[in-house]
Amino acid sequence: MTSDASPFADIRRLVTEMPGPDADAVAAIRARDASLTKPPGALGRLEGLVEWLGAWQGKAKPTLDRPMVCVFAGSHGVVARGVSAFPAAVNRQMLENFAAGGAAINQLCAAYGLGFRVFDLAVDLPTGDICSGPALDEKGCVATMAFGMEAVAAGTDCLAIGEMGIGNTTIAAAIYAALYGGEPEHWVGRGTGLDESGLRRKAEAVRLALETHAGHLDDPLTVLARLGGREIAAMAGAILAARLQRVPVVLDGYVATAAAAVLHALDPHALDHCIAGHLSAEGAHRDVLDRLGLQPLLALDMRLGEASGAALALGLLKGALACHRDMATFEQAGVSGKSEG
C-alpha cells in the first residue's frame, strides 16, 4: 500500500501508469494491409480492428492465439425492491449452468474457439441495497477490483468481459445517473424483461439511491463502491489490469460498460484499449457508448449479458485477423494493382 490513507490510492496510481498505443506496430500493420489483394480500405472497419489489436498488444504481427472470455458474477441487495423479472436464485443456478456447459456463452466460446473463465464474486452474499446504504465499503471494492485483475493473470492476448447478476441493470443505471446526471427514467430499461410497474419501481430505486448517496458521488471510485456491485468492481479491475499488461479488451453490453465508464471518468484515455463488442437492447446503451467515444461492432438486439455480445465480436476479430495474416499480397498472387490516373 502507498502512504495515502485512501483504499483507492493504489488504483489511482495504476491509472497514471497506463501505457499508450504502439505506433510502430500500427505503421507495420498499415504497410502490410496496403500490400494485400484487395482495394485499399475494402475491408472497412476490419482493417482498423487489426491495427487496434497490434497497437495495444505492441505487436507488428497481432495474435489471437489465446482469446479469453471472462464472466464475473455478483448478487445485489437492491433485487429485494422488485427491480428484476427474475429472482436472485438465478445467479447460483446460472453459475452451475456455466460449469455444465449449458449457457449461451458456452456455445459461443465453443463455436469460436475461445477460452472461458467464470469469477464467482460471492454470489451467495448480496451486496448492500444501494437505496439504503453503500453496496460495498471502499476496502471491499478495492479487494474486488484486485480479484478482477486475475482475469489477465493466466495469459491472454485478447480479453472479452461480461457478467451475470440479477438486478445489475439497475446498478448500471444508478452508476450512469451518478456519473452523467439526468433522470433515472432515461437510464433504466427492461433488463431481463420487466413489465411497466417493474420499470417504475426500477426508476424509483435509482432515484432513491441517488438521494441516499447525495454529496458522495463526485469521485468515480466512490460511485463504484457505493452504487456498484462486486462483478462491476471486478470488471473495472480486469479492464485496468489488461491495459497494464497490453491486453486489448472487448466489452459486452450495458452492464459491462458501466465498469468501463467508471475508469473513463477517472481518465478519458482509460478505455483506449477497449472496443464495444455490441450495442445492447437496453435503450440507454447508445448514449453511454457515445459518451465513451465507442462505436459498437454489432447491433443484434441482444440483452443477455454473460459476455455473449463480446464473444460474438471476438469471432469477428478472428476473421479480421485471419484476413490480415493469411491473405496473399498482390506480388505473391500476381494480381494487378490499382490503375494509375
Ligand X SMILES: O=C(O)c1ccc[n+]([C@@H]2O[C@H](COP(=O)([O-])O)[C@@H](O)[C@H]2O)c1
For the chain, what's the residue count?
341
DSSP codes of every residue in 36-64:
BSS-TTTTTHHHHHHHHHHHHHT-SS---
How many alpha carbons fall within 13 Å on the CB side of residue 287? 14
How many Å apart are CA 20 and CA 211, to the nearest integer? Answer: 38
- CB 194, min distance to ligand DMD, A: 12
Of these partners, ligand X, ligand DMD, none, which one is at the site of residue 248 (CB under 5 to 8 Å by kind)?
none
Residue 276, beta-bridge partner list: 251
In the complex with ligand X, the residue whose CB is nearer, 8 or 98, is: 98
Which amino acid, 184? Answer: P
211 C-beta neighbours (distance < 10 Å), count: 9
Residue the block writes with cell 433485487: 79
One of 141, 305, 310, 317 touching ligand X (CB under 6 A) = 305
Question: 3-class SS at 120?
Answer: strand
In the complex with ligand X, the residue whose CB is nearer, 54 or 167, is: 167
**Site residues (CB under 6 A) for ligand DMD, limited to 195-254:** none
Of these partners, ligand DMD, ligand X, none, which one is at the site of residue 106 (CB under 5 to 8 Å by kind)?
none
User: Would you give the DSSP letter of residue 17?
Assistant: T
- Beta strands across the sheet bearing 115-120: 115-120, 67-73, 158-164, 249-251, 274-276
Q: Is residue 228 close enough to count as binding ligand X by CB under 6 A?
A: no
Residue 17 appears among annotated catalytic residues: no
Q: Is residue 37 close enough to count as binding ligand DMD by CB under 6 A?
A: no
One of 29, 43, 79, 164 touching ligand DMD (CB under 6 A) = 164
Task: End-to-end CA distance of the chain: give it in Å, rounded.
Answer: 64
One of 191, 229, 237, 296 touching ligand X (CB under 6 A) = 191
Q: Is residue 36 close enough to count as binding ligand X by CB under 6 A?
A: no
Q: Is residue 305 close enough to count as binding ligand DMD by CB under 6 A?
A: yes
Instruction: Check if the beta carbon of residue 227 is closer than 8 Å to that of residue 171.
Output: yes
Residue span 48-67 as binding mask against ligand X, x where in contact by CB under 6 A, dash where not: --------------------
Catalytically annotated residue among 282, 306, 331, 340: 306
In the complex with ligand DMD, the residue whose CB is nearer, 54 or 305, is: 305
Based on its alpha-carbon atoms, the radius of gyration of the chain, rounded to whole angstroms, reads 21
**Site residues (CB under 6 A) for ligand X, limited to 273-292:** 280, 282
How many alpha carbons fall within 13 Å on the CB side of residue 165? 36
Strands 249-251 and 274-276: parallel
Q: Is residue 163 close enough to count as binding ligand X by CB under 6 A?
A: yes
**Site residues (CB under 6 A) for ligand DMD, limited to 70-109:** 86, 90, 94
Binding part of the chain for ligand DMD, among 144-152, 182-190, 281-289, 304-312 by CB under 6 A, reads 304-312
One of 21, 306, 321, 324 touching ligand DMD (CB under 6 A) = 306
Residue 223 grid cell: 460511485
Residue 112 grid cell: 469460436
In the complex with ligand X, the residue whose CB is nearer, 191 or 248, is: 191
Q: Write out the residues near ligand X by the rule CB under 6 A.
A: 84-86, 163-170, 191-192, 252-255, 280, 282, 303, 305-306
Q: Write out the residues near ligand DMD by the rule CB under 6 A.
A: 86, 90, 94, 164, 192, 304-306
Q: Known catalytic residues?
A: 306
